[in-house]
Structure 1
């Protein structure tokens, strides 16, 4: 059953937005956020081919989906064929879905395989971000933003998600490991800069919440999935309007989860402590 938010005017708004593309468009509508959104388009034969040629590594994901299910990493590499002085550089293609990697000599062969895998469901193609790593495994961050009891937006937590060694997604429900953001930033920022950087992420989360809420008035909470590149530039990979606060119980500071639960109860979302 869909959760519905109600305004004093009597107008009822849906609390959840399922389409990733619709949420991306809402974020991009705020000019100051566009620098943080990787190029994202609806997947077709042409958009996939063009973006792969431009970026060499992209992700494709279902427009509607959860927990990283259905996400595929696609890459275009090059191989040299021929004899001396007659070398010809030829593109090679590969994709990874789950733990399985498949390789192809032509784009069309790969595309045919991808279409069989996606079963013609609506998919998006997104510029790939080469994630930072923790002990050799890729990680990203989940930024939790909620409406307070006074209806202001507050970033209530930031947590890191480290991918399983053999997988391309970081989701906890897909084998990922949860770490504090301070632990993950330790190798990339001196202690004097970490708190300021986390405050920047918190502010980014609040801006995203405001952008989503401007278009979708029923939204009460969001989880922003943020990738960090090697220059520590944050990239908004995805926005979840039904984020799971449970993962924040894994942090040593339990007050973070308790605040999330208190705010969630204020807008009538039950959160049970497991």
Structure 2
């Protein structure tokens, strides 16, 4: 049984079968010329991302505006008058890889940078799914991805949420519960999975959206967590996983 599931499409299909999770999964489809066009018309802004990829590499933010289209990859913005011209350019950037198109979530911001949250969820030594840590990731200036390995910086979740809600602890508790539900769903579909890292975005209403489920999340970002017990617990659980 494989411990890692690489296809973002396969993971999305697996978790959105559950009613308690489906409402937190943005509309996602495999990218074709027509699927991208239709989602742009519906949402005005979408993200396209490699079906298999890490660290936010290859992710593009695509927008439909009056008078044309544009997409951003890295810090560079490309503008177009026609959809056909934009799509041809996007295909050149995909390098022949399969891509997904996902409803664009307008992330909350911290000091001008978009942020999301990494929710670490692990199968514990007593055979239960537990959320072991939550930490915030803030995108670098003018970047569209928050990944630490792509220039993002790590910030304590409480600090990010406090300006947006009077009850940050309650929100973090609900995210912990969501993480456990996703862990159970993933293990049901993929029995070899023992750890997941959820990338969760919050919109202006504070509704959580699962942008991605990682089955080989980097535990070392939690060395930056304000509570040193968090990283110690994460590593203790990791040592309990069955040997490959």
Q: What's the TM-score, normalizing by structure 1? A: 0.88
Provide the aligned C-alpha RMSD in A.
Answer: 1.1
Partner of 1:55: 43
Q: Deviations over 1:107-154 (max 9, x none)?
A: 000000011110221000000000000011100000000011111100
Task: Tell whether 2:239 aligns with 1:265.
Answer: yes
Partner of 2:186: 212
Given the superposition, is the C-alpha separation of residues 51 and 141 from structure 1 closer, same or farther in structure 2, using an over 3 Å criterion? same
SS in 1 for 2:164: coil
Aligned mates of 1:249, 1:269 — CA distance in 2: 24
Q: Deviations over 1:227-251 (max 9, x none)?
A: 0000000000000000011001011
Partner of 2:215: 241
Task: Tell whether 2:66 aligns with 1:78.
Answer: yes
Larger radius of gyration: 1
Q: What's the TM-score, normalizing by structure 2? A: 0.98
Partner of 2:7: 19
Matches within 5 A, 1:4-153: 13-79=1-67, 92-153=68-129
Aligned length: 244
Of the three residues 213, 227, 230, the one matched with 2:204 is 230
SS in 2 for 1:213: helix
Give the ranges of 4+ consecutive aligned residues of structure 1 lying more than 6 Å apart after TM superposition. Answer: none
Aligned mates of 1:259, 1:149 — CA distance in 2: 11
Unaligned runs of 5+ in 2: none
Task: Tell whether 2:156 aligns with 1:156.
Answer: no
Aligned mates of 1:175, 1:158 — CA distance in 2: 19
Unaligned runs of 5+ in 1: 1-12, 80-91
Of the three residues 143, 153, 159, the one matched with 1:167 is 143
Aligned mates of 1:36, 1:251 — CA distance in 2: 25
